[in-house]
Amino acid sequence: MSVKLFASVSLAVWLLTATSTLSQSNIYVLDTNGDPLETDEEYFIRPAITDNGGRFTLINRNQSCPLYVGLENTDLPEGYPVRFTPFANDEDDDDVKVNRDLKVEFVEVSSTCVQSTEWRLGENDTSSGRRVIVTGRDDGRSSVGNYFRIEETQNASIYNIGWCPTEVCPICRFFCGTGGILRENGQILFALDGSALPVVFQKKDD
Ligand SMILES: *[C@@H]1O[C@H](CO)[C@@H](O)[C@H](O)[C@H]1NC(C)=O
Ligand SMILES: *[C@@H]1O[C@H](CO)[C@@H](O)[C@H](O)[C@H]1NC(C)=O
Ligand SMILES: *[C@@H]1O[C@H](CO)[C@@H](O)[C@H](O)[C@H]1NC(C)=O
């Protein structure tokens, strides 16, 4: 391949990559009824397939605060609903879209921990080498630790939840990850960097 041809191919690839990064998704995230998720509604998150735990909830991992994000051990209707707050939304649009940065917050929680119930990227757990998801406010730069995203899977209405806040900080380089389950001492934690957990969103009071 000539140098000139190689250069123009490289430029085309670069342009394509740059364009796809800039164009933001306008595809709605759907709940288990096939309706778009709304920012002023509450949803339970649960695995799309059985034997992976029940609804998402708060986990007291170590008899101390803050509490971690995890899943109930059973399919019983327990767990806490969440509310989603997009980082950027067009005016008059209260629907949640795929691959866009958003905050996830457990609501209707009664807990003795003073921390906020917003999801936050936690530490790299030494024994598993996976990054756990904890609760609390990220006071660091742009609060990037508080922004997650809902990613599409091959199946309609089934999603993954990941962390890659490039909308909040376009010039940052993140080690992005997708969430899955991490079993520890009889509890189920939600953590990045393992096999991805397919989830569904069930509107509360359905
Ligand atoms: C739980 O707390 C103990 C004592 O503070 C500490 O040694 C241990 O590493 C903690 N475990 C986890 C999973 O954080
Ligand atoms: C977490 O730690 C493991 C080793 O303990 C390492 O292989 C992995 O890259 C770390 N993850 C991140 C995101 O730094
Ligand atoms: C998604 O669909 C594929 C085939 O279309 C199927 O094999 C797979 O089990 C589905 N995944 C879930 C989580 O339902």
Across the range 129-154, mean pLDDT stands at: 95
The count of domains in the chain is 1
Instruction: Band the pLDDT of 178: cuts 50, 70, 90.
Output: very high
Is residue 142 scored above 90 in pLDDT?
A: no
**Ligand 3 pocket check: which of 46, 49, 51, 154 to mutate, most ligand atoms within 8 Å of Cβ?**
154
Give residue 56's pLDDT: 97
Q: With b meaning 16 or more CB within 10 Å and e meaning fewer, what string describes 65-95?
A: ebbbbbbbeeeeeebbbbbbbbbeeeeeeeb
Residue, of 147 and 25, whose pLDDT is higher: 147
The Cα 135–Cα 59 span in angstroms is 10
Query: Which residues form ligand 3's pocket by a CB distance below 6 Å?
Result: 48-49, 154-155, 158, 198
Q: Enter the tokens of residue 25.
A: 């998704």
How far is the C-alpha of 186 from the C-alpha of 88, rounded, in Å? 38
**For ligand 1, mutation pick of 60, 62, 67 (most atoms within 8 Å of CB):** 62
Q: If you average pLDDT over residues 105-127, what whole number do you get? A: 94
Q: What integer pLDDT is reported at residue 205 of this predicted model?
A: 84
Among 124, 126, 192, 193, say which to mutate for ligand 2: greatest number of ligand atoms within 8 Å of CB: 124
From the list 206, 102, 202, the residue with the least C-alpha distance to 161 is 102
Residues in the chain: 206
Pocket of ligand 2 (CB under 6 A): 124, 126, 129, 131, 175
Q: Which of 13-17, 23-27, 102-106 has the lowest mean pLDDT?
A: 13-17
Please give the distance, rounded to the nearest whole angstrom, from the Cα atom of residue 183 to the centre of ligand 2. 18
How many CB atoms are located within 10 Å of the residue 177 CB?
A: 18
Largest alpha-carbon pair distance within the chain? Answer: 67
User: What pLDDT score was predicted for residue 25?
Assistant: 74
The span from the CA of 107 to the CA of 118, in Å, is 9
Euclidean distance between CA atoms 173 and 63, whole angstroms: 35
Give the domain extent around 140.
3-203
Within a 10 A sphere around the Cβ of 13, how many other Cβ atoms? 10
Q: How confident is the model at residue 7 (pLDDT cuts 50, 70, 90)?
A: low
Predicted structure pTM score: 0.85
Q: Residue 20: which pLDDT band, with cuts at 50, 70 and 90?
A: very low
Query: Ligand 2 center to residue 136 CA distance, Å?
Result: 22
**Burial class (CB within 10 angstroms; exposed 0-12, middle 13-18, buried 19+) of 194:** middle
Q: What's 46's domain CATH number?
A: 2.80.10.50
Cα-Cα end-to-end distance for the chain: 60
* pLDDT tens-place string over residues 46-70: 999 988 899 999 999 989 999 999 9
Q: What is the pLDDT of residue 206?
A: 60
Mean pLDDT of the chain: 89
Nearest CA to ligand 1 atom 9: 62
State mean pLDDT over 132-157: 95
